[in-house]
Amino acid sequence: MNFDTWLLYLFAVFLIAISPGTMAVLSMSHGIHFGKTRSLATALGSVSSALLLMLASAAGLGALLSATEHGFALLKYCGAAYLLFLGIKLIMTKASAQGLDLQYIKGKGSPKQMFKEAFLVGISNPKDLLFFGALFPQFIDIHQPQMPQLAILALTWAVIDFSFVMIYASMANMLAPKLKSSNRLHWFDRVSGGVFLSLATILVTRE
């Protein structure tokens, strides 16, 4: 892979990463509740799911899902169900009697739980699998060894993905002091929950 090809891929990944999606909403929610340090687990969960999807795509699973309507539908509905669960969970969150003290909220999260939520959100979208299957061939030179090229593409994606999850989490965490003594954090949860419900609906209804 030559340097110009890599730069083009880097630009494409940057544009994809900067577009808000389910992981951006989740990372902002984790950042505002649990802080930047714990959100490292969220970023690692996102990267892990992406790398697994890349590996599956490279192994030809993306082509299999494209040709198998029922397999794609199963993954699609599983992904929508998990987003629905997260959305209801956020919407049902009640305002704390402590005035939404962030120190109190902060103690509820664990890196294991945050990693799991991010991993499941990332892995439950079959369109990402098909996306990787469609994206990678555009930047691979078939006349050169493919594994080193795939490794470069995957590593680049992982670095950009990790960085943007942390950026979203850090930006949300900066808002935390302003929300500390008000009911706005509760409404942030409700809005985030609504976004997850909307994304679940879109995932199910889109062809």
Is pLDDT above 60 for 133? yes
Number of independent structural domains in the chain: 1
Residues 57-89 have pLDDT tens digits of 777 755 655 666 676 667 667 767 877 887 787
Contact 30, 106 (CB under 8 A): no
Phi and psi at residue 100, to the nearest 5° = 60, 45
Contact 160, 13 (CB under 8 A): yes
Is pLDDT above 70 for 160? yes
Q: What is the pLDDT of residue 72?
A: 61
Question: How sure is the predictor about 97, in pLDDT bands with cuts at 50, 70 and 90?
Answer: very low
In terms of residue numbers, what domain contains 193? 3-8+23-205
Is pLDDT above 80 for 27? yes
Q: Which residue has the higher pLDDT, 34 or 181?
A: 34
Q: What is the pLDDT of residue 79?
A: 66
Q: What is the pLDDT of residue 92?
A: 78
Does residue 15 sit within a domain?
no
CA 170 to chain centre: 15
Question: How sure is the predictor about 46, in pLDDT bands with cuts at 50, 70 and 90?
Answer: very high
Does residue 14 sit within a domain?
no
Question: How sure is the predictor about 205, in pLDDT bands with cuts at 50, 70 and 90?
Answer: confident
Does residue 70 sit within a domain?
yes
- Vertex 137 angle, CA 133 and 142, to 5°: 140
Does residue 13 sit within a domain?
no
Question: How sure is the predictor about 185, in pLDDT bands with cuts at 50, 70 and 90?
Answer: low
**How many Cβ atoms are within 10 Å of 87's Cβ, its own excluded?**
22
- Report the alpha-carbon distance of residue 205 to residue 84 in Å, rounded: 14
Contact 161, 155 (CB under 8 A): no
Angle between helix 69-91 and 111-123 (nearest 10): 140
First to last CA, the chain: 34
Q: What is the pLDDT of residue 176?
A: 67
Does residue 163 sit within a domain?
yes
Q: What is the pLDDT of residue 155?
A: 93
110-to-73, 105, 106, 175, 195 alpha-carbon distances in Å: 32, 11, 9, 21, 23
What would the mean pLDDT of 187-191 be, rounded to a whole number? Answer: 70
Question: How sure is the predictor about 106, in pLDDT bands with cuts at 50, 70 and 90?
Answer: very low
Does residue 82 sit within a domain?
yes
Does residue 17 sit within a domain?
no
Does residue 119 sit within a domain?
yes
Considering the entire predicted model, what is its pTM?
0.70
